[in-house]
A and B are shown apart, each in its own frame.
Chain A
Amino acid sequence: MRAGISELAIKLRNREISAVELTKAYIDAIEKLNPTLNAYVHLTFDIALKAAEQADQMLKEGDAPPLCGIPMALKDNICTDGLPTTCCSRILTGFKPYYDATVWEKLKKQGAVLLGKTNMDEFAMGSTSETSCYGAPLNPRNTNYVTGGSSGGSAAAVCANLAVYSLGSDTGGSIRQPASFCGVVGLKPTYGAVSRYGLIAYGSSLDQIGPLTNSVKDAAIVFDAVRGGDKRDQTSVDYDYGPSLTQCLEQDVKGLRIGVAEEFFEGINPEIKSKIEEAIALLEKNGAKIEHIRLPALKLALPVYYIIACAEASSNLGRYDGIRYGYRTASYTSIEEMIVKTRSEGFGDEVKRRIMLGTYVLSSGYYDAYYKKACLIREEINREFDAVFETCDVLVAPTAPNTAFPLNYKGASPVEIYLSDICTVPVNIAGVPAISVPCGVDAKGLPIGMQIIGKKFDEATVLQVAHFYEQSAGEVIGAYEGGAGI
């Protein structure tokens, strides 16, 4: 079995392996596998090796933080001072921010070793990572299938052991869904638990950074390292989680009230449905109380999500005009023409589609019918979640209605792909935390994810249930053969 962060931390401290050796093992694996998997779009090996040397120094001096010397990856929409940060969009070609995202600043201080920036859907808009301007990453479990998205590269890198852990971002499921497709753990924290400073915005009121890891415990360790209020992000909250969320992992589920809402199971692939039901049965067998509850507003979550996210995106993406950074069209005769050509050439189709949708729903004459109504329904969804959490400690649901799509799967329309977000978007709308943990494979051997949803700032219970399930279910999907082999 693959070593987790805490096992690696012990090996590093016992000098069984140095951070430099560990980093080199990952670099070798990336060099071997990334040309196929396309999980990374920018490699930062020089910086990784330097950071590893420093980490070894920190380790030698003693009292090094938990993530010191651990090789990892960041999604390409998280700003890294002096390193490419492109959101996998042509329009940010060559963009190197001169500031760090707060999460990266925190990890750097811990002595984290950044191997590179991972592939994603352009501006995090997509569910397959195929809208990346660098081409899609491939699912390491079966390279004929997509990784899911938008944090597809982050999920693939962790799945294929090309990074011990990675950070992704989740606006409507972009951490959990690729985690589910690739058979890894993905945590979307409570909105505000992790600073968004330096995360290139897609839907600002929904975006949240979180970890993709190989185990629930690793997710807790990484979440511990990046969470906390930030004076540079007004929407962040300095919630008192106590010293470490790893402490809550050892508890069982006896007496915990687990909510199951039938709305989450409508239109779900039967193979997935039965795996989730098996998992629920396992939790019940271990003393959890199953509460059957209703979330009627859930069926409105998808349109609400696409209205709000696109509205915010249409405004957030207005700044990419070719003037200050990134791509600029080659020839133009006026500023107006430059901006129009730059944006026409720089953005891909899915981004353009969402900018147009968002522009439309905010236009005068349509605002009340779309954006305003969506905000009202959002409040109703929040009320329903609040009410449900009066009687439940967590909710259990599928992460996605399907397993990974085949590559280049066109579907009937973009809407069919949008529908695959149906189980994840309500969580973002409500701003609550949720985790996806592997709970089996389908007949094609593709991983299935189970989602555990908690109250705001109750990541502790979410992680506790996820960890208990992970430990008691045993190996639900086969180990990935390959990667760094550590």
Chain B
Amino acid sequence: MNYEIVCGIETHIELATKTKIFCGCTTEFGGEPNTHCCPVCTGQPGTLPILNQKVVEYAIKAGLALNCKINTKSHMDRKNYVYPDLPKAYQISQYDEPLCEKGYIELDSGKRIGITRIHIEEDAGKLVHENGYTYIDYNRGGVPLIEIVSEPDISSAEEAREYAEKLQLTMRYIGISDCKMQEGSMRCDVNLSLRKPGDPNFGVRTEIKNINSLSFIQKAVIAEAERQADILDAGGTVVQQTMRYDEATNSVTPMRDKENSDDYRYFPDPDILRFCIDEAKVEEIRASLPELPFAKLRRYVNDLGLPEATAKQISRYRKVAEFFEGALAEGASVKNAANLIVGTIFSNMDTEEEKELFAVRISAAQFAALVKLADEKKINIGVAQSTLQKMLESGKPVEEFIKPEDLVGISDEVLENLCREAIEANPRAVDDVRNGKDKAINVMFGYIMKKTGGKADIRKAEALLRKLIGP
């Protein structure tokens, strides 16, 4: 039977603040176990949390970028549960007054996936199992997180992936997280149920925890939908439980339930004062947000006339888009700048991370200087590409590789003189052309190319030659 997928995603994202949410410890990933800790983030008796204002600011950024309403009055709650990686036996989180609510992410299809809420909270430590012992590393404890909860608006594996990818891109764009799923700075829990098409009621859902790549999200949704469909087809009922996705076998299996109860006994944390966020501060943050990748994409296609595929590749990475727009501001043409970035610069970058970092050795202005030579047809595209490659390797400007005298050889005036020379030197070929043997013009092309070292604009040369030879 056919079923409709009803899916929502909860995403935890580690914020890229320098220090933890309630103390001054570094948030840096890794480090020797328990070296990025202090009495506060290990919950020593008598210590108190101090809310890092940057965390609130970053979460507001995320909320605004995801079209959320910002709650200017908010507070922190305690979520009580016992687990060795949680040194206070409660996680400081937000329960009934999340910082942001009611946003959305728009998919390429135009469909909007609702964002229910975004709240801030602290991460827990990590258990390490070794030689039959369990060790605890609290380095990650107190690293700030935002939890982004979507509405159950997702109805296919592709949509699930696209939602997560757009979320990831947006968070990277606004600079609040690197969203590295393999390192755990972005973690997704997928909630999924099936129902018969048109059925207004939801089926029983399962939650697939901690999926750590975009493609696994897609695969996990497919695998879990199939598993649930098989159960329903056989007349069974889906059990509400927590699942794990296994990449190796591409299957979804129930997790051993380690939570003893779902009653977290939330209550407002008395150690942290209720906070009010100034409307003006929200507007200041809103004004500081960069143009987001999807707005950029639309602008590149509609206003700049870039093909969708190229526009997507450039708008996807904030640094690339900034480099591209920087070159345009210096007078480079849209088409040549875009093609040289995608064709030449990207060929030096194998991974997403490299494109994300976009560590090129030349500035946008230096790049524009090269593009403009191609725009003005002072060099052809092949030369532009090879010169750009040399610039990227050396970090040196275009003048290092193309001398002014190289360019003089192909100025309009020089080109016309060369054409005249070519005509004078090849009277027979000129006659042949006049007599209809059109291919004879190649003799003159050869002459001009030899004299310019291949840098002449062949179409311009042809036009000039025909004008000079006459009918």
Contact = CB atoms under 8 A, between A and B. Distances in A.
Question: Chain A CB within 10 Å — which of B50, B267, B272 has the most?
Answer: B267
B239 interface: no
Nearest to A95: B45
Contacts of B271: 201, 204, 234-235
Given A97-B44, A99-B47, A318-B88, A371 B267 contact: yes
Contact of B265 (A78, A199, A359): A359
Nearest to A203: B270
A103 to B, nearest CB: 11
Contacts of B84: 321, 323, 335
B90 interface: yes
A231 B270 contact: no
A324 interface: yes
Contacts, number: 98
A363 B50 contact: no
Contact of A200 (B46, B80, B266, B270): B46
Given A99-B39, A204-B270, A335-B84, A315 B48 contact: no
A199 B82 contact: no
Interface string B235-277: 0000000000000000000000000000101110011110000
A318 B263 contact: no
B220 to A, nearest CB: 29
A95 B46 CA distance: 12
B51 interface: yes
Interface in B57-92: 78, 80, 82, 84, 87-90
B51 to A, nearest CB: 7
A235 B89 CA distance: 21
A201 B47 CA distance: 9
Interface residues of B, number: 29
A321 B90 CA distance: 12
B126 to A, nearest CB: 14
A364 B264 CA distance: 8
A362 B80 contact: yes
A386 B51 CA distance: 29
Contact of A319 (B48, B87, B270): B87
A325 interface: yes
Contacts of A335: 84, 134
B409 interface: no
B44 A99 contact: yes
Contacts of A95: 45
Contact of B80 (A77, A318, A324): A318
Nearest to A205: B270
A325 B44 contact: yes
Interface in B34-57: 39, 42-51
A454 interface: no
B53 to A, nearest CB: 11
A359 B82 CA distance: 13
A204 B76 CA distance: 14
B136 interface: yes
Contacts of B265: 314-315, 359, 362-364, 367
A87 to B, nearest CB: 8
Contacts of B272: 234
Given A204-B270, A231-B50, A232-B50, A321 B89 contact: yes
A311 interface: yes
A348 to B, nearest CB: 17
A248 to B, nearest CB: 29
A371 B268 CA distance: 11
Interface string A193-230: 00011111100110000000000000000000000000
Question: Chain B CB within 10 Å — which of A79, A99, A201, A234 has the most?
Answer: A234
A212 to B, nearest CB: 20
B44 A318 contact: no
Nearest to B44: A97
Contacts of A324: 42-44, 87
Interface string B129-156: 0000010100000000000000000000
A311 B266 CA distance: 10
Contacts of A318: 80, 82, 88-90
Contacts of A77: 46
A272 interface: no
A92 interface: yes
A454 to B, nearest CB: 23
Contacts of A362: 80, 265-267
Interface in A410-433: none
A196 B45 contact: no
A376 to B, nearest CB: 13
Interface string B12-41: 000000000000000000000000000100
B179 to A, nearest CB: 30
Contacts of B78: 315
Contacts of B49: 234
B409 to A, nearest CB: 70
A315 B136 contact: no
A235 B49 CA distance: 10
A152 B88 CA distance: 28
Nearest to B39: A99
Contacts of A359: 265
Contact of B48 (A87, A97, A98, A234): A234
Given A315-B90, A318-B82, A321-B84, A101 B267 contact: no
Interface in A222-269: 231-235
Nearest to A101: B46
Given A204-B271, A205-B270, A234-B272, A319 B50 contact: no
Nearest to B78: A315
Contacts of A311: 267
Question: Chain A CB within 10 Å — which of B44, B46, B136 has the most?
Answer: B46
Interface string A320-337: 010111000000000100
A188 B46 CA distance: 19
A365 to B, nearest CB: 9
Interface in A109-141: none
A98 B45 CA distance: 11
A196 B271 CA distance: 10
Nearest to B83: A335
Contacts of B88: 318-319
A312 interface: yes
A202 to B, nearest CB: 11
Nearest to A338: B84
Contacts of A231: 50
A477 interface: no
Given A235-B271, A319-B43, 7 more contacts: A98-B39, A234-B49, A234-B50, A234-B273, A315-B78, A321-B89, A362-B266
Q: Which 10 A-B pairs have the closest CB atoms?
A: A318-B89, A205-B270, A362-B265, A204-B270, A198-B46, A200-B45, A79-B46, A200-B46, A99-B39, A319-B88
Interface of A: 77-79, 85, 87, 92, 95, 97-99, 101, 196-201, 204-205, 231-235, 311-312, 314-315, 318-319, 321, 323-325, 335, 339, 359, 362-364, 367, 371
26 contacts: A79-B45, A85-B45, A87-B45, A99-B44, A99-B46, A99-B47, A197-B48, A198-B46, A201-B45, A232-B47, A234-B49, A234-B273, A235-B48, A235-B270, A312-B270, A315-B80, A315-B89, A315-B265, A318-B89, A319-B43, A319-B87, A321-B82, A321-B89, A323-B84, A323-B87, A325-B45
